[in-house]
Every structure is written in C-alpha cells, then in structure tokens.
Chain A
Amino acid sequence: MLQFKTWQQALIIGSVVLAAILATPNFFPKETVAAWPGYLPKSRISLGLDLQGGSYLLLGVDTEKVIDDRLTSLRQEIQRSMRPSGDKERIALQSLPTLDLGRDGITLRLRDEAQIEDASKRIRDLTRAGSLVGSGVRPYEVTVTGPRIDVVMAPEAKRAYAQEALADSIEVVRRRIDPAGNKEVLIQPQGVDRIVVQAPGDNDPEALKQIINRTGQLSFHRVDVSVSPEDVAAGLLPPGRIVVPIAEVEGGGQLILHEEAEVTGDMVESAAAGIDSQGGGFEINFSFDSRGARRFADYTREHVGELFAIVLDNEVISYPRIQTPITGGQGRITGNFSPDEAQRIATLIRSGALPAPLTTLDQRTVGPDLGADSIKAGSTASVIAFALVVLFMLVTYGRFGVYANLALVANIVLIFGILSLLGSTLTLPGIAGIVLTIGMAVDANVLIFERIREEIAGGKSPINATQIGFDKAFSAIADSNITTLLAAWIMLALGAGPVRGFAVTLSVGVITSVFSAIVITRLLAGGYLLSKRPKSITL
C-alpha cells in the first residue's frame, strides 16, 4: 500500500509540524516563552545537572531513630502516668519500664497485680493520642499477662510514622534551601527513607550540606552553676542535669544545664540575621509565638541575673546573663558569629527541626564550566554524526537515501517535540542516546531498501518491489526495535539520573524512528513512484 489518502497525508505531515511547534520553546529564552499567549506550547526540555552544572544529593532519613525517639518518650510518659496525681493513686512498678527497640515495645511489671486494670487503662489513654487518630489505626497494641503489660507499636503505625518523618524532613529541607520557593531546586522523596535534592547552578554543595545536615533543634535551658566541673569529671552529675559543649566561637568548654528546656524551638515564630548594634558583630533576632513569649517572659522575670543557655543541635551557641525580664516576645542571640554563620543559624531556626538527622549518601557535583564543555562537545558530535550518516545514506541509496534522510530529519524533529512535550531532562548520556538513535534510525530504512533491492533483482517492477519491501521488512523491524525498547526500559528502572536520560531519549528515538522510517519514507517513496512511474530505480 503505497497510496496514502489525503487525510492520512495531512495527519503525517501534521504530526511532524506539531512536533516542530512543540519543540520551539527550547529555542527562546525562558522569559520570552513565559509571555507567550496560552495556546502556544510552553513546556521545554530542561538540561540535566551534568549539562548545566549543579549538585545532586541523596539524603537518607534515619526513620528508625524517629520510631526509637517516640518509644523513648512514650516510656517516660508511662512512667510519669504511674505517679499519683489528683484522684489517681500511685501504681508501684517492680522496676523501671524496659524498652526493647528490637521489637518496638515497652514492658512493665506491677508490684501489685490488683492494680492491673487501672494501669492498663492509664496506658491505653496515653497511647490513644498521637497523629494517627482518625485514621482508624491504633498506634500501639497493649497486652496484659499477669502483672505484666506489653506495649508494642503496630507495624502500620511504624510505617505511618516513618512516612510522616520523610514528609516532614522534605518540608524542612525545602524551607532551608528554598524558603521563597523561587529557586529551581528539586526536592523529592525516593523510596521510603530517602530524599533527592537537585540544585542546579553554582550552588556550593558544601554550604548546601552544612545547612541540610544539621538537625536544627533549638532550646533554651537554665544553667546550673552549682555543679562544678570536678563533680562532672568524678561522675557526680545530679539527675535532670546535662553537660553540653560550648561552641568554639564562644570560647569552647562545657556548661551544665537543666535537662528540661524552658522554651523550645517550635515556639519560635521567626528569626533573621542582623548586625549587633553594640558588639559590632552579627546576631540573630527572633520572636516567639504567644505561648513561647509567655513562657520566656515568666522565666526571665523569675531568673534575672542568672545565666541561661541557648542550645542548637546539642551545642551551646550563646549563654547570656538575663539583665531584665524580656516580655515583648522578642529576643536576640549574640555571639561571635560571622555573617554567614548568623544567616545559617537564622535559617535553621526559622525552618524548624528535622524529625531525624539526615545522612548524605551520594553526592554528585558538576561545575558549570564542565557542563558547558559537555554541551559543546555533545552538540559538535551530534552534528558530525548526523552529517556522516546523511552522507553515507546518500551515497549508498541515492534517491531513496534522500527519502531516508528526510525521514531522519523528521525523526529528530519528532524526538525533540516529544521530549519537549514530556518536559524531559536532557543529560549528556541523553545526547549520546540521540546520536546513537541517528545511527540506528536508518536501520528500518536499510531493511526496507535491501528488501526492495532483492525484489527488483527477482524481477519485480519498482512499484511492486517497493510495496513488497515495506510489507516484508515489517516483522524484522518490529521485533528488532522491541528488543531495543526492552533494554531501554530496564535502564529506566536502573534509575540514576544521567542513565535515565539516556534511556528516555533512546526509547523515544526508537519509537519515532520506526514511525518515520515506515510512514514518512513510504509517503515520500510512494509519492515519487506513483506520480513518475519510473521503469527502473537505482537502489
């Protein structure tokens, strides 16, 4: 069937024109495209980090720690709930409740089995709370055996808490790197406990990591000056006290603090870096929410003249003396901060604490120069490859080679149109994929042309031979391209950024090349043969 109906011709030509239109946004600056009217395509191919330069970070979220933290604090709450309060009487335990992180459970034994009803009720009341309320999932299983109570976290709850931790971490990372939401930073979850951060441009990855990898846990503590360093060295730390190192810039050393925080970072509403009007250095100004403001006012009123410590990620960053009560809900952290450090701390405080520490598992950074070099090298190679293949087809197949080359051009237009439509990311291996497609795209045409040659050698007329050539070559073309597609899909599953780019361009290229070789070449060759009806063709 060399004859195409008019609507078929229109459809074929239309699809190539459509692809060309879809590809146009790539040739104009982004701002220009944004101003185009709505009916014009705006989606474009974006450059991968290996081409435009930038950093790729794979972060691991320690979801186990989130679970462990929850269980640890639940144990404390259980212990507290056994104390007498109001009309509740004391429930005596044989020993402190034990925590078994291996099976996500807490076990406690009562002295008096008669109190078991009361104890399990108190625990059930406690464990009913939590963010899973409403979802129908009970976060903990409470079982009673004699004087023993087992509290085990349900697997669904564990999954939900892990998911929550991942989502929260992503939010915090986003607030830290891209607070205004105007940078082209991509922050996505991967699997159940990973976050991928892709930051293009000349962002310094070290600065990025420094701000991502800090937990950002801020708290305000009372300093206990009654415990001497000698006592600490002798292991005589009173209960409820902790030893916290002082930041290097503040002179190093350590302070003994009350473990219980007076105010915590989640009560801070905003924070910004500023210039210290007295010291001349840099400081961080912050303001509390109403709850924090009240607590801070109460505390500073009662402890005028005492030291208090501001702790960030288990390090004292400042320990001023309270001169006057601070009642306005505003405060400032002064210290010997550099402007960068002040900025970083302000961002950390503003963005809130990470639910669990993040570990950088994989970092890839490409400088913008190398990216520019790669683009240049990639496009040079593409142009040369294209020219070589076009020339080769021309000298091998003459007129039919021209048809194949036109199909090849259409193929490249189609590839760019589809990649633009998909908004795909072009990577360096992706460029290689396109170049390889240029080389392999002619395969279908070669199969067809060789078939036509054979049929002509067998005595068939040009039109007949061409007809049979297209028909008979089809099963080989279909099978052979399906195998390439299968390989490309496995690469997609294999995953990592640049390789995915290769897999995408290769599979798009394979599909468009079959279309252009079979349909477009047939349209061109058929048009020639049916209108001129040549007695013989050179092939």
Chain B
Amino acid sequence: MKLLKLIPDETKIPFTKWRWHALVLTLAAFIASVFAIFVAPGLNFGVDFRGGITIEAEDTTPIDLSEVRQAVASLNLGGAKVQEFGSPTQIVVALEATSLEGEANVDVSQQKVAALVQDAIRKSLGDDVSFKRVEVVGPTVSGELTQRGILAVVAATAMMLGYIWFRYQLQWGAGAVLGVIHDTVITVGLVALFQFSFDLNVIAAILTVIGYSVNDTVVVYDRIRENLRKYKKMPLAELIDLSLNETLTRTVVTGGTSILALAALVTFGGEVLRGFCFAIMFGIIIGTYSSLFVAAPFLLLTGVKRDWSKVKDTAPAQA
C-alpha cells in the first residue's frame, strides 16, 4: 500500500535563514492585529464583558426588522441593535448596560430592561415568537469576568514560561512565551477583523491556542535539545534548521488533523460556537507558524547552553 506523504522524508528548509523575512511578516501581522483590536473595526465585545442584554428570538414567519427596531426604540432605552441572525425568521437584539430612571442599582435595572424589551418584541411580533436565548449580564459580573479573562490569559502565559524554564532554560521559556504573545494578539486581531463576538468562549479558545502553541514549541525544543547532545559542534542555526525539518512532518500532520476536526466544527457545529471554533482553528495555524518562525529562531538571538550531556532528562518515569 502506497501511503500519503504530505512532507517528503528529507526536507532541508532553511527556516532560520528566513527569520528576517518572517520577522517582517510577523511584525506586520502584529501591528495589523493591534490596529484591528484598538482602532478599527475594534473588538465586538460580547455580553460577558460589555454587560447588557442579548436576546435571540425566532418567529414562524420572516421578521420585519424595522418593526422590531421601532418597538424597541419606543421604550427609550438608548441604542439597541436589532439584526438578522442566521435566517430571516431569527433576530438578535443587543442593548448596552443602561440604568433606568429611578433605579440606582444597574444590576436591578438591567433585569427590568430585559423584561421590557421581551414584552416589546412579543407585542410587535405576536405570541408565536419564541426566545431562543436571553442573556442579561449586570455590570458587577461583566467587570469580574473581564478581570478573570485577562488574569486567565496572563496566568497561562506565566505558567508556560515557568514550566519551560524548569524543563529547559530561561531563554527557551522566553522564546515560547514570545510565541504565545504573538499567537494571542493575532488570534484576537482576527476575531476583531471578522467581528466575532469577543466573549468568555473566545478566552477559552485563546487558552486552548496557548496550550497548543506551547505543545508545538515543546516538540521542536525537545528535538533541538536532543540534537544539541548529538551534534556537539554543529552551528546553532544549522542545528535548529535540522530539528525543525526533522519534526516538520509531525508538525504538519498533527496540525492537519486538528484543523480537520475544527473545520468540521466550524462548518457543521452551528452558529453558537462558530466564533469559538474559528478562533481555535486560526489560532492553531498561527501557533504552528510561531513555533517554526518565532520560538525556535529566538534561540539564535539569545544563544543556548551547548552542553546538555550531564543533564539527566527529567521526563516522568516511562510507562
């Protein structure tokens, strides 16, 4: 049986030679992402972080958006967004966190506003309308979720640094973390560019991408360390290239199967999770790139300890 070979057995791709081109590309993507996040089009904050109300409703017949807009606007609650969601019989209504007159507590006001808006929608569309999803997040919780989201990403990054520092050396950890920062920023940039809702799910996606990216980097680092033991005199750039080429098939195959699985999710997994799966899928592609072109070449800049012969491989006892 002839087997499929995505990558030929002996590749000699000069990854490190391309590092300056890669750097330009990386920086451009990084700057574009920062622009997409902070300037235009900006992050489309979901209800988790923004606070406020999101209501998804479905009717049996196509919905006249302007009618619903009018009904909601007549409540005088400030800017409400009414959009079609997936199909003409479905809409999503989003409101910012607002405080009602005479109700000092915004958390309480939010709940009242949500009830008012649902009543208005029901009045305008009739009793056949069903509410598929109602999310009401008060400012107390949205503030906490934002804090926790940021903390989670920072903690994950710090733990990765710590773990690789412990297993290798500080500069290896720094290289991996540089890759992680690169992956996080560009993934969030893409989420902003495509205007996916930026919510807790996307934070979970980012954490997954961080895990995957470091996973990828560690496989490469493991091979570099092994080759450092094997070829004591080989120039570092050559040695890194060799290691990257040796692990290239694995990089492509594992990335490939993961992306296949995620592509199935993005295509067939429904509207709810599309942003989440999309973020993981692109994050994995970006994470694979960063292992090859950010984390590994970074070792060239800092240099590494050449003599690993005395260091016992401290991998857990073999099964």
The answer on A and B forming one complex is yes
Q: Which chain A residues have a beta carbon within 8 Å of chain B's beta carbons?
A: 50, 58, 60, 205-206, 209, 213, 359-367, 369-370, 373-374, 376-378, 380-382, 384-386, 388-389, 392-393, 395-398, 428-429, 431-432, 435-436, 438-440, 442-443, 446-447, 450, 453-454, 457, 471-472, 474-476, 478-488, 490-491, 493-496, 498-499, 502-503, 506, 518-519, 538-539
Q: Which chain B residues have a beta carbon within 8 Å of chain A's beta carbons?
A: 1, 3-6, 9, 48, 56, 58, 105, 107-108, 111, 114-115, 118, 130-138, 140-141, 145, 148-149, 152, 155-156, 159-160, 163, 167, 200-201, 203-204, 207-208, 210-212, 214-216, 218-219, 222-223, 226, 246-247, 249-250, 253-254, 256-262, 264-265, 267-270, 272-273, 276-277, 280, 313, 315-316, 318-319
Report A-chain residues with C-beta under 8 Å of the C-beta of B262: 385, 435-436, 439
Question: Which of A50, A367, A382, A494 has the largest count of B CB atoms less than 10 A from its CB?
Answer: A494
Report A-chain residues with C-beta under 8 Å of the C-beta of B133: 364-367, 370
Question: Which of B201, B226, B257 has the largest count of A CB atoms less than 10 A from its CB?
Answer: B257
Report the tally of A-B residue pairs with Cβ distances under 8 A: 250
Report A-chain residues with C-beta under 8 Å of the C-beta of B201: 429, 498-499
Report A-chain residues with C-beta under 8 Å of the C-beta of B149: 494
Q: Knowing A363-B136, A367-B131, A384-B268 touch, does A482 contact B163 (C-beta < 8 A)?
A: yes
Q: Is the beta-carbon distance between B156 and A446 smaller than 8 angstroms?
A: no
Q: Is the beta-carbon distance between B3 and A398 smaller than 8 angstroms?
A: yes
Tell me the minimal C-beta distance from A466 to chain B in angstroms.
15
Q: Is the beta-carbon distance between B265 and A396 smaller than 8 angstroms?
A: no
Q: Is the beta-carbon distance between B270 and A457 smaller than 8 angstroms?
A: no
Question: Which of B136, B211, B216, B223 has the largest count of A CB atoms less than 10 A from its CB?
Answer: B211
Closest 3 CB pairs of A and B: A439-B261, A487-B211, A377-B270
Report A-chain residues with C-beta under 8 Å of the C-beta of B249: 446, 450, 453
Report A-chain residues with C-beta under 8 Å of the C-beta of B130: 367, 369
Sample 21 A-B pairs with CB under 8 A, ordered by A number.
A359-B108, A363-B134, A367-B133, A369-B58, A370-B56, A381-B265, A385-B260, A388-B260, A388-B264, A392-B253, A392-B256, A392-B260, A436-B280, A439-B257, A439-B262, A450-B253, A479-B222, A486-B159, A486-B163, A487-B208, A502-B204
Q: Is the beta-carbon distance between B261 and A436 smaller than 8 angstroms?
A: yes
Report A-chain residues with C-beta under 8 Å of the C-beta of B256: 392
Report A-chain residues with C-beta under 8 Å of the C-beta of B1: 398, 538
Report A-chain residues with C-beta under 8 Å of the C-beta of B273: 374, 378, 428-429, 432
Q: Knowing A361-B141, A429-B204, A538-B3 touch, does A435 contact B134 (C-beta < 8 A)?
A: no
Q: Is the beta-carbon distance between A490 and B253 smaller than 8 angstroms?
A: no
Report A-chain residues with C-beta under 8 Å of the C-beta of B280: 432, 436
Q: Knowing A359-B108, A487-B156, A494-B149 touch, does A476 contact B246 (C-beta < 8 A)?
A: no
Tell me the minimal C-beta distance from A330 to chain B in angstroms.
36
Tell me the minimal C-beta distance from A344 to chain B in angstroms.
16
CA distance A209 to B138 in the complex (A): 15
Q: Closest A-chain residue to B265, C-beta based?
A: A381
Q: Is the beta-carbon distance between A60 and B140 smaller than 8 angstroms?
A: yes
16 extra A-B contacts, CB within 8 A, seeds A361-B138, A363-B135: A359-B107, A366-B132, A374-B273, A378-B270, A381-B267, A384-B267, A386-B261, A392-B256, A432-B277, A435-B269, A440-B257, A450-B249, A483-B214, A486-B159, A491-B207, A519-B319
Q: Closest A-chain residue to B115, C-beta based?
A: A206
Q: Closest B-chain residue to A408, C-beta based?
A: B257
CA distance A206 to B108 in the complex (A): 13
Report A-chain residues with C-beta under 8 Å of the C-beta of B261: 385-386, 388-389, 435-436, 438-439
